[in-house]
Amino acid sequence: PGREPAGPLAEDGRLRTVSDWLPARGSGLRRRNGDPHQLASIVYTSGTTGRPKGVMLSHYNMLSVAHGALTVVACYREDVFLSFLPLSHTLERTAGYYLPVMTGATVAYARSIGQLAQDLQVIRPTVMIAVPRIFERVYGRLKDQLAAKSKLSRGMFELAVGVGWKRFLYRQGRGRWESSLLLWPMLRRLVASKIGEKLGGRLRAAISGGAPLSPEIARVFIGLEVPILQGYGLTETSPVISVNPLEDNEPASVGIPLRGVEVKIGASDELLVKSPGVMMGYWNNHAATAQMIDSDGWLHTGDQARIERNHIYITGRIKDILVLSNGEKVPPADMELAIALDPLVEQVMVVGEGRPFLTALVVLDGDFWPGLAQDCGLDPMAPESLQHPKVQSLVLAHIKDALRDFPGYAKVRKVTLLLEPWTVDNGMLTPTMKVKRPRVMAHYAEAVEAMYEEGPAAGDRR
């Protein structure tokens, strides 16, 4: 500043020096108080049920939720948050950015998901916000490592998880004291502390949100003294509605409402919410806003729930939207319609709620199956022919072709093939011929679990 341009630059009419427009001494700055109820951000929904909608959030919406969260999970100036979710994710922005800034805590940013394990060791966070997929990856690595260890080591791990879980229930006031708890100091030293060190050794709260967390994974981590707290919310609620407190943590639930949040159960067991965090509305979409928020101010979540001891338990989805463990929302009905257009397929149900990837239960057309089996050199009358790799690969190829115009997340990675049709008589269909998803899921529960235990199909791993 202060130096005049020389040579050709002095004659360039596009060039201005700082002194041309910035006075040497500024006049007194006027303090301006912003309106907390003015629009602060527009966050777009994923658009899986139609065109993406712009959720209008005010300063008050987001900051009231951050402040309300502090009444359930305390935060201190000494805390160190590890941030690795994108800040476009409203959970990360509100709970992982605004909240720690309000309390004077430190926020450290991970370099990438691939380097997260190293960053945990260096940063040693006390608080971490994640989606279930992160915990699933850690759990998967633990299982792989255990598989290579001795039977004694695997037994010690299972014992530590079991005793640790009993200790957790006892300390929460939901279990009785048992003599096996005397083993905990030894099990903590030999097993749990080593897991804790992989997470930095100081973690006192690991918030899980964005999708349902597997109860089994929650049990393992909590049993190893990793304090996972499951929460719940929507982009339209800025986003947190509830979270489990450390002193009353019920992992099967999504916690208790934040301060200032009202909840009730409406028609069809739908969870309704009133909250300071409820959005201003959808950008330029009054019809969608009126559909989401009724005339009494209750926001309709689209989730079915029950409430016990002030804890919210999500039991289903009215809108039948699958939420994968990474938070990705998938509309199964559109995919199923596309897959069912293939003459090979009689009926299909896409599965994936709370899971790391999509699978499908497929009823093959009885007229096409014999020819398909014979083309693969198999006996169509033999039940094991349905599980033959040739048949599985061929059906997956048909499904891939049917979904070629869908977004990248719409990828079915494994299938269970069936020949018995779903009918009204066997209880799998409604009188209007709609698939009863809960009934089908319950009937084929073992087959579904088997698909996920084995992981994605060979050559289809991320």
Residue 26 lies in a domain: no
Do residues 133 and 356 lie in contact, with contact meaning Cβ atoms separated by under 8 Å? Answer: yes
Domain boundary among the residues 286, 319, 352 is at: 319
Residue 150 lies in a domain: yes
286 and 141 share one domain: yes
Look up residue 67 and give its two tokens. Answer: 């402040």
151 and 196 share one domain: yes
Q: How far apart are CA 129 and CA 346, in angstroms?
A: 42
Number of residues assigned to the chain: 462
Q: Before 332, cis peptide (omega within 30)?
A: no
Residue 9 lies in a domain: no
What H or E segment, with its residue span, contains residue 211?
A: none
Backbone conformation region of residue 327, classed left if phi is above 0, alpha if psi is from -120 to 50, else beta: left
Residue type at position 321? I
Q: pTM for the whole thing?
A: 0.72
pLDDT of residue 131: 86
- Residue 112 is classified by DSSP as -
Look up residue 263 and give its two tokens. Answer: 């909840």
Q: How far apart are CA 395 and CA 414, in angstroms?
A: 10
The whole-angstrom distance between residue 351's C-alpha and the CA centroid of its chain comes to 15
291 and 347 share one domain: no
Residue 378 lies in a domain: yes
Give the domain CATH number at 111: 3.40.50.12780
Distances from the Cα of 271 to the Cα of 37, 181, 302, 369, 437, angstroms: 26, 38, 7, 44, 20
Q: How far apart are CA 38 and CA 424, in angstroms?
A: 53
Q: Could you tell me where the beta strands, DSSP code E, fall in 253-310?
A: 256-257, 262-265, 270-274, 281-282, 299-308
- Residue 190 is classified by DSSP as I
pLDDT of residue 1: 47
Residue 165's pLDDT band, with cuts at 50, 70 and 90, is very high
Poorest-confidence range of 342-346, 405-409, 429-433, 452-456?
429-433
408-417 pLDDT, tens per residue?
Answer: 888 999 999 9
Do residues 413 and 335 lie in contact, with contact meaning Cβ atoms separated by under 8 Å? Answer: no
194 and 220 share one domain: yes
307 and 416 share one domain: no
Say if residue 230's pLDDT is above 90.
Answer: yes
Average pLDDT over residues 293-311: 96
Backbone conformation region of residue 213, classed left if phi is above 0, alpha if psi is from -120 to 50, else beta: beta
Average pLDDT over residues 98-104: 96
Residue 13 lies in a domain: no
Domain boundary among the residues 294, 319, 344 is at: 319
- Domain range spanning residue 381? 331-453
DSSP assignment of 315-378 equals EEETT--EE-TTS-EE-HHHHHHHHHTSTTEEEEEEE-TTSSSEEEEEEEPTTTHHHHHHHTT-
Q: How far apart are CA 307 and CA 253, in angstroms?
A: 9
Domain boundary among the residues 319, 345, 361 is at: 319
Do residues 359 and 351 lie in contact, with contact meaning Cβ atoms separated by under 8 Å? Answer: yes
Average pLDDT over residues 235-252: 97
Residue 433 lies in a domain: yes
Buried b (16+ CB within 10 A) or exposed e, 38-56: eebbebebbebbeeebbbb
Other C-beta atoms lying within 10 Å of the C-beta of residue 137 = 17
242 and 207 share one domain: yes
Average pLDDT over residues 104-133: 93
339 and 384 share one domain: yes
- Number of domains the chain contains: 2
pLDDT of residue 328: 85
313 and 351 share one domain: no
Percent of the chain whose predicted confidence (pLDDT) is above 90: 67
275 and 178 share one domain: yes
Give the domain CATH number at 375: 3.30.300.30
Give the max Cα distance, the chain: 91
311 and 350 share one domain: no
- DSSP H helical segments within 229-298, as ranges? 286-292
Distances from the Cα of 270 to the Cα of 220, 303, 305, 314, angstroms: 30, 6, 6, 9
Residue 392 lies in a domain: yes
Torsion from C-alpha of 278, 281, 282, 286, nearest 10 degrees: 140
DSSP assignment of 3-31 equals PPP-GGGGG-TT---HHHHS-SSPPPPPP
225 and 272 share one domain: yes
Residue 187 lies in a domain: yes
Q: How far apart are CA 440 and CA 359, in angstroms?
A: 14
Partners of residue 310 on adjacent β-strands: none
What H or E segment, with its residue span, contains residue 401?
A: helix 389-402
Poorest-confidence range of 1-5, 84-88, 108-112, 405-409?
1-5
Q: 285 Cβ partners below 8 Å, 6+ apart? A: 53, 54
Do residues 108 and 200 lie in contact, with contact meaning Cβ atoms separated by under 8 Å? Answer: no
Partners of residue 323 on adjacent β-strands: 329
Poorest-confidence range of 20-24, 65-69, 301-305?
20-24
298 and 184 share one domain: yes
